[in-house]
Amino acid sequence: MPRHATILLLILAFGPLHAQKDPEAKKILDRVSAQSQADFPIRVSFEYIFEDLMEKQTTTQEGTLILDKKKFRLTVGESEVYCDGTTVWNHLASANEVYISDAEQEDESDEFFISNPTDLFTFYQEGFKYRLTGEIEYMGKTYFEIDIFPEDLDKNYHTVKLLINKKDYRIYSAEAFGKQGANHTVILTDYQRKAATDDKTFVFNPADYPGVEIVDTRF
């Protein structure tokens, strides 16, 4: 499965590289982070848009994410990804294959929460600058617009743009702008707090998929 399809879930927009850590933006981001963690476990439905400007192609998929601290279950396209906080299972339904890796391997990815959605509400806390660019009105609602920039200029993206609902401090959309014209957008279409989960929610069970091929990539 392509990295960009592993999502989530959440994706950003960039601004001038001289941007600093805007204290007003930090207040909003901190409140979003605290709010989401108070809502755990959460279940969100989303629309994921991948835009390749070089190839002039755009694909749109729908997905869901169940998130509880370091555990998650992410479904998008033909892929379903499970993580119990230690192990990650990436199940490709069409191929009837599951790839197993360590959660730590996903943490090392340059795409942070695209490969590990547990970082969605906290990624800004280290290695990033950010600024509140203003407020916008959209479909009768008011959103804070915050641009986030990686301090590491070798990252393959240059900006992340978040739209945050001013009323409830929940993320509405996240858009990431890549340096090579590959842009990712996630729009949250539904948000459920205190979702019903158990340990089985975040663990792939081969018995549920007869004949599944298991590919263990752990060292």
Q: For residue range 93-114, list pLDDT tens digits in order.
A: 999 999 999 987 765 555 545 5
pLDDT beyond 70 at 5: no
Give the pLDDT band of residue 11 (cuts 50, 70, 90).
Answer: very low
Rounded to whole angstroms, how far apart are CA atoms 103 and 186? 22
Tokens for 23, please give them. Answer: 């204290």
pLDDT of residue 205: 96
CB 170 within 8 A of CB 196: no
User: Domains of the chain (ranges plus CATH)?
Assistant: 11-216 (2.50.20.10)
pTM score: 0.85
Q: For residue range 21-49, list pLDDT tens digits in order.
A: 999 999 999 999 999 999 999 999 999 99
pLDDT of residue 19: 55
